Amino acid sequence: MSNQLDQLDEYKFNVATKGIFKDVNPPMATMSKIIVFIFVVAGAIAPDMMGNFFSALQDWIKTNLGWYYILAMCVFMFFVFWLIVTPYGRIKLGHDQQSPDFGNFAWFSMLFGAGMGIGLLFWSVAEPMYHIQNSPFLPEGSAESMEGAPAAMQTLWLHWGLHAWAVYVIVGMALAYFSYRQGLPLTIRASLYPVLGDRIYGPIGHAIDLLAIFGTVFGVATTLGLGAGQINAGLFYIFGVPETLGVKIALILGISVLATIST
């Protein structure tokens, strides 16, 4: 498999070499932007309808796929531990002759800042308080008792403990290995080459990358929205800045501009 991967040409991914789509796949970039734009416009025009739709979708996922979510998290965690104690854990994510660009302290600081960041400061307290009142693991009406406290902490550890880091590790390793060691584009579809083979260049690969883009965009949007709400609440508490939609939009725009400049 390694020899096959070494011979792969990133231009099979139709990556543009110049213009506004340089280093990306123009059809994929255009399609993803259009679909995301449609969702944004729909949310702005009919927020109640979109809110009801996503709430119903979330409830269906929790009811029917909650078991799969927890099982997958556990499998990822044990798989990562297995990698640590086997020779596979010593494979470099770059070429054999390369050395790390950052030291361990700087690397772990960046990982922690990007992986947890502001969310941990707020949700490490807010989430168990929420789950002690609305635990998904207890019968309705019993969550607010002392019996609900351990269940609330179990949910907290599932979201912020080793399970969450295992998911980050799996995705990060797959992307880094196939990009920095095998020379493929930094895309989710490239990391699935051993499973799908040349089908990653076709419709299946396009669908995988589209799902990855949606997950990333909506995940970042959720984090940014929650972060703006937290900042607005802090500004209100300290300086009396009103908690309004306009202030939150201004905060989101400001954060987005700073993030764009920093890159």
111-120 pLDDT, tens per residue? 887 777 667 7
pLDDT at 97: 85
pLDDT at 56: 94
Residue spans per domain, the chain: 29-230
pLDDT at 6: 45
pLDDT at 263: 66
List the chain residues with pLDDT less than 70. 1-13, 117-118, 136-145, 263
Give me the helices (H) in 137-244, please.
Answer: 148-160, 162-176, 188-191, 193-196, 203-239
pLDDT at 7: 43
Q: Looking at the DSSP assignment, which residues form a beta bridge with residue 22?
A: 16
Query: What are the residues whose beta carbons fall under 8 Å from the beta carbon of 184, sequence distance 6 or more?
Result: 5, 8, 10, 178, 190, 193
